[in-house]
Structure 1
Amino acid sequence: MSKENRDRFVRVAGPRVNKVLKALDSLEKCSNTYNYMYSEEDVDKMYGAIKSRLELLKKSFEKGLMKNNSEFKF
């Protein structure tokens, strides 16, 4: 890997990780039962979707592959 490729990865990946972390913080706000109503099944579906995507992400980095961009739906 060239230094240029490494520098580009660091420059691009850092902000993208921070964006994901901010999105997770935003999603956590939905746990407030004063403002939202949800079931354990809803939580399991959300967590399952996130966990599956993280597993695909890890595999992509292990194999250098890209996966599709499917969206989550209840």
Structure 2
Amino acid sequence: MEETKQQKFVRIAEPRVTRACKAVSLLGNLAGSNYEYTEEQVDAMFGAVQKELDNARAAFSQKDKPKKFTF
């Protein structure tokens, strides 16, 4: 029996989400007393992560929308 696109999505997405969550969790370890950081560094770190999350979410939103024509 051939794998459906839905099944393939779930098969691939589950380990990727798990790895992404683990990576975000590891960022929290940087808050420990073994490190020194500024609020600006923390803001930049989480800003970069949030930007990538926003880009990934947007890719799903644009799936069925026609792309705007630009030069």
TM (norm. structure 2) is 0.81
Counterpart in the other structure of 1:13: 13
Name the structure with the higher helix share: 1
User: 1:4 and 2:24 equivalent?
Assistant: no
Q: How far does residue 62 in structure 1 lie from its aligned partner after superposition?
A: 1.0
Segments of 4+ in structure 1 off by > 2 A? none
When the two structures are aligned, how many residues end up with a matched partner? Answer: 61
Secondary structure, counterpart of 1:36 in structure 2 = coil
Q: Which has the higher contact order (CA 8 A, sep 6+)?
A: 1
Whose Rg is larger?
A: 2
Deviations 1:7-60 (A, max 9, x none): 00000001100000001111110011x200000000000111011111101000
TM (norm. structure 1) is 0.78
* Residue identity (%): 36
Kindly report the root-mean-square deviation, in angstroms, between the aligned alpha carbons of the 2 structures. Answer: 1.1
Gaps of 5+ in 2: 64-71
